[in-house]
């Protein structure tokens, strides 16, 4: 039995119940032990009147029938008096059987007395059979005496069983009266032997010896019994034995003892009979009177025992009740105080301390004394525990305050570093954009593309610090943006952008206030997909409207995740937990969870059919709009003009069916492809130059590509030398690839003048700043509008973030 895990109330209850139960059991035992003797004393009257008196009557009748039976056996004829005596004996036996068969007597007897009463009843059942033997003279005088003496002996054994009183004096007196009854029975046996000898005229063989033995036993029993009587009763018996009948009877007994064993008894039959009957009657009356007196004395004694029992029982019951009340009161007090300490501890751990931390994180001021009031539970050990716990509360609350203050300071440090990094990254992107516009060397332009891509990723990581600090990134849009452009912008911010396949993305738009966060969220998921999948596999992005919004699915073919890891990751994504520096390996999931919680976006990871992981992003319906049209925004504000400017920097049209390959698919072997940053309408920072185009172009969904300006600076060209070309095969391949790309570029563009007198090349089907569509026949160089000197591809621009003023506008 493990008691250490019991509640405190159960332990206190067990502590109280055990001694109280033991005390109650002891009280019940003492009460029962005392109540039993009282009941025995009260039942003595029942035993006397239901067993003693009827049994004594049966004994007297059996003694008389025995004498007459011996006289009949000693003579030659039947005695009419014997028949009458047998009827009186039968009536006495019937009355005894009726009394001993009652429930009242059986309830007052114990097991020993029950057995002896049953033995007496069984012995009396042999009486009819013995009478038959006597009438048929199949038994002699000694056998007849033995038959009746056995029945009478069973009666005296029952009488001795009645002498079982709890009071020693009463019990000794009852045993003395029983012994007097036995001595009277021996006197009856002497009378029966002498009556047979007087009738027969002589003693039979052995009768004299039996007579002498009976006289000796009778005298010995009388002396023993009288010695146990009380003084008053002993004196009364002595006065009784000094009478004339007792004197004559004793003298005749002495004569019989000295008589000849084979001759006639030397006593007169009439004198013997008169003396014997008188002595028997006097002894019987004395015994009955003593039995009545004994019963009368037992009742007051039983009453006194019951009074003492009642007093002891009441006092014991009061002691038990007081013990129970004290135990219950003390136990309830201890349980209440300990429960109070427990409740205070649980309230601090489960409610107050988390509320303090929450309030501190909201920036509220917290009073430690008010949040950790002292616990008053007295001056004993429990009170000391309460005071110790009060100190623990204060320490815990103060630690929470210090921790939140430290976390807030750390977040401010993160935010300060992130804001500085963002400023430098934005300036770097602007500088790269100017350098790309003024660079004509394909090799330098390709390197600038790589630097531009790294700067774009660096900007996203700087935004991660802002999100870790609990703030919002600086990028923002006022108008909705197409879902496809969001996916392109997200793929352009990952390292392995060339492994991302944009499959079927159904037309839809996202509100401008959520564009930056959704791009960042998708970029984190795409980067995870590329990082945890083999480099020779593809990452597929699909999107379609659903009942509750718009669902984007990013699927990789990596090693996948276990069920436990998926469950833990989904729990982290759904709950948006606080940032834990100890779990920096899961930083991407934390950023995704923060961004998703900010706009109510649901992100779920699940196993992919291809063996990897699919990330399902559910954008809520309140953030989803219809897909915005291509072209500049009609609003003349600064932020809208900047958004229109970035929308004109695409390189690929929006595909609606099939698979869209990343921007690397449009690069040539000679010039490395620009990352999908060039395809994103959110990464540009500088204004591109575009001219109105023919609105009848077939490619209405295309995005224009910016073309480098022609600079007035003329670079010196090396002199042409006739002879073998010292270029390496790689350099020749790069030049030819650039030439091929420029030729393809020129066939798909037109040349248009700009207001400052310069010309730019615009892709066919692009939207010019005035809203016109550029067609091939609008070029100044002929019907096909081809540029005689194709230029290398223009680097993509990075998205330009809105300032705080433009966001608020």
The predicted pLDDT at position 616 comes to 94
pLDDT one-digit tens code per residue, 38-56: 666 667 777 777 888 888 8
Alpha-carbon span 735 to 717, nearest angstrom:
16
* Helix boundaries (H) for 620-664: 638-647
Alpha-carbon span 381 to 374, nearest angstrom:
16
As a whole number, the mean pLDDT across the chain is: 74
Pairing of strands 481-482, 624-625: unpaired
Least confident of 161-170, 334-343, 508-517, 560-569: 161-170
pLDDT band for position 456 (50/70/90)? confident
Query: Exposure of 513 by Cβ count < 10 A (0-12 exposed, 13-18 middle, 19+ buried)?
Result: middle
Nearest to 593 by CA among 623, 615, 621, 624: 615
pLDDT one-digit tens code per residue, 564-581: 989 988 988 888 766 666
The answer to whether residue 601 scores a pLDDT higher than 90 is yes
The predicted pLDDT at position 657 comes to 41
- Tell me the angle at which helices 381-437 and 442-468 cross, rounded to the nearest 10 degrees: 160
pLDDT band for position 741 (50/70/90)? low
The answer to whether residue 25 scores a pLDDT higher than 70 is yes
The arithmetic mean of pLDDT across residues 107-131, rounded, is 87
- Determine if the pTM surpasses 0.75: no
The answer to whether residue 502 scores a pLDDT higher than 60 is yes
pLDDT one-digit tens code per residue, 52-108: 888 889 999 999 999 999 999 888 888 889 999 999 999 999 998 888 887 777 777
The arithmetic mean of pLDDT across residues 369-384, rounded, is 74
Length of the chain: 809
The predicted pLDDT at position 318 comes to 85
Strand partners, 603: 617
Alpha-carbon span 145 to 159, nearest angstrom:
21
The predicted pLDDT at position 265 comes to 87
In order of 221, 395, 585, 692, 726, the CA distances from 237 in angstroms are 14, 97, 116, 158, 166
pLDDT band for position 541 (50/70/90)? very high
- Rg from Cα positions in the chain: 64
The predicted pLDDT at position 37 comes to 67
pLDDT one-digit tens code per residue, 427-453: 888 888 888 888 888 888 888 888 887
Q: Between the ranges 88-97, 103-112, 375-384, 732-741, where is the mean pLDDT highest? A: 88-97
């Amino acid at each position: 039995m493990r008691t250490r895990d019991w509640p405190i109330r159960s332990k206190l209850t067990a502590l109280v119940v055990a001694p109280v139960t033991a005390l109650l059991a002891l009280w019940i035992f003492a009460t029962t032990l005392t109540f039993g003797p009282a009941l025995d004393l009260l039942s003595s009257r029942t035993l006397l009147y239901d067993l003693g008196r009827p049994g004594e009557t049966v004994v007297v009748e059996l003694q008389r029938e025995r004498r007459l039976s011996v006289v009949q056996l000693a003579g030659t004829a039947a005695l009419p008096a014997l028949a009458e005596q047998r009827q009186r004996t039968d009536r006495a036996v019937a009355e005894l059987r009726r009394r001993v068969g009652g429930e009242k007597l059986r309830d007052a007897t114990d097991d020993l007395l029950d057995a002896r009463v049953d033995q007496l009843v069984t012995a009396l059942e042999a009486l009819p059979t013995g009478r038959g033997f006597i009438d048929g003279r199949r038994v002699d005088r000694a056998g007849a005496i033995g038959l009746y003496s056995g029945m009478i002996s069973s009666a005296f054994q029952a009488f001795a069983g009645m002498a079982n009183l709890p009071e020693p004096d009463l019990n000794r007196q009852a045993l003395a009266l029983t012994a007097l009854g036995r001595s009277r029975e021996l006197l009856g046996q002497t009378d029966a032997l002498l009556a047979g000898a007087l009738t027969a005229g002589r003693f039979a063989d052995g009768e004299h010896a039996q007579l002498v033995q009976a006289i000796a036993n009778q005298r010995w029993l009388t002396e023993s019994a009288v010695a146990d009587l009380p003084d008053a009763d002993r004196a009364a018996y002595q006065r009784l034995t000094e009478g004339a009948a007792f004197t004559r009877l004793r003298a005749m007994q002495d004569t019989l003892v000295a008589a000849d064993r084979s001759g006639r008894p030397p006593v007169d039959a009439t004198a013997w009979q008169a003396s014997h009957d008188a002595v028997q009657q006097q002894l019987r009356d004395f015994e009955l009177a003593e039995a009545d007196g004994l019963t009368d004395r037992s009742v007051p004694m039983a009453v006194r025992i019951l009074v003492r029992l009642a007093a002891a029982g009441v006092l014991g019951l009061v002691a038990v009740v007081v013990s129970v009340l004290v135990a219950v009161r003390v136990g309830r007090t201890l349980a209440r105080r300990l429960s109070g300490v427990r409740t205070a501890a649980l309230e601090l751990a489960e409610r107050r301390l988390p509320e303090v931390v929450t309030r501190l994180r909201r920036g509220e001021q917290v009073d430690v004394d008010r949040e950790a009031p002292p616990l008053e539970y007295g001056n004993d050990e429990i009170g000391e525990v309460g005071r110790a716990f009060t100190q623990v509360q204060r320490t815990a609350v103060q630690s929470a305050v210090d921790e939140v203050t430290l976390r807030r300071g750390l977040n401010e440090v993160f935010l300060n570093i992130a804001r500085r990094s963002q400023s430098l990254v934005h300036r770097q992107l602007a500088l790269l954009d100017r350098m790309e516009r003024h660079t004509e060397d394909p090799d330098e332009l390709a390197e600038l593309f790589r630097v531009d891509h790294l700067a774009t990723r660096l900007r996203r990581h700087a935004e991660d610090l802002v999100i870790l600090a609990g703030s919002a990134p600086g990028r923002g849009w006022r108008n909705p943006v197409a879902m496809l452009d969001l996916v392109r912008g997200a793929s352009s911010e990952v390292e392995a952008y060339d492994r991302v396949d944009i499959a079927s993305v159904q037309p839809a738009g996202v509100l401008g206030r959520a564009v930056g966060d959704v791009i960042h969220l998708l970029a984190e998921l795409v980067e995870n997909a590329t990082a945890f999948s083999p480099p020779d596999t593809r990452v597929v992005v699909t999107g379609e409207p659903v009942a509750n919004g718009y669902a984007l699915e990013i699927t990789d073919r990596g090693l996948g995740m276990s069920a436990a890891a998926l469950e833990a990751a989904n729990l982290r994504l759904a709950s948006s937990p606080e940032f834990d520096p100890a779990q920096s390996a899961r930083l991407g999931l934390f950023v995704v969870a923060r961004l998703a919680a900010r706009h109510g976006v649901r992100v779920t990871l699940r196993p992919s059919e291809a063996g990897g992981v699919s990330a399902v992003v559910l954008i809520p319906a309140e953030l989803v709009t219809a897909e915005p049209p291509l072209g500049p925004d009609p609003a003349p504000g600064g932020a809208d003009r900047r958004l229109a400017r970035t929308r004109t920097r695409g390189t690929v049209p929006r595909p609606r069916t099939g698979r869209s390959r990343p921007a690397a698919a449009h690069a040539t072997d000679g010039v490395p492809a620009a990352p999908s940053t060039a395809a994103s309408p959110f990464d540009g920072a500088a204004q591109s130059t575009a001219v109105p185009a023919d609105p009848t172009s077939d490619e209405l969904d295309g995005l224009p590509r910016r073309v480098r300006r022609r600079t007035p600076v003329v670079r010196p060209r090396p002199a042409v030398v006739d002879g073998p070309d010292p270029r390496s095969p790689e350099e020749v391949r790069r030049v030819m690839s650039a030439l091929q790309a420029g030729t393809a570029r020129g066939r798909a563009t037109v040349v248009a003048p700009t207001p400052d007198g310069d010309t730019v090349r615009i892709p066919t089907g692009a939207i010019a700043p005035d809203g016109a569509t550029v067609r091939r026949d609008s070029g100044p160089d002929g019907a096909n509008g081809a540029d005689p000197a194709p230029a290398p591809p223009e680097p993509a621009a990075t998205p330009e973030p809105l300032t705080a003023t433009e966001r608020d506008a």
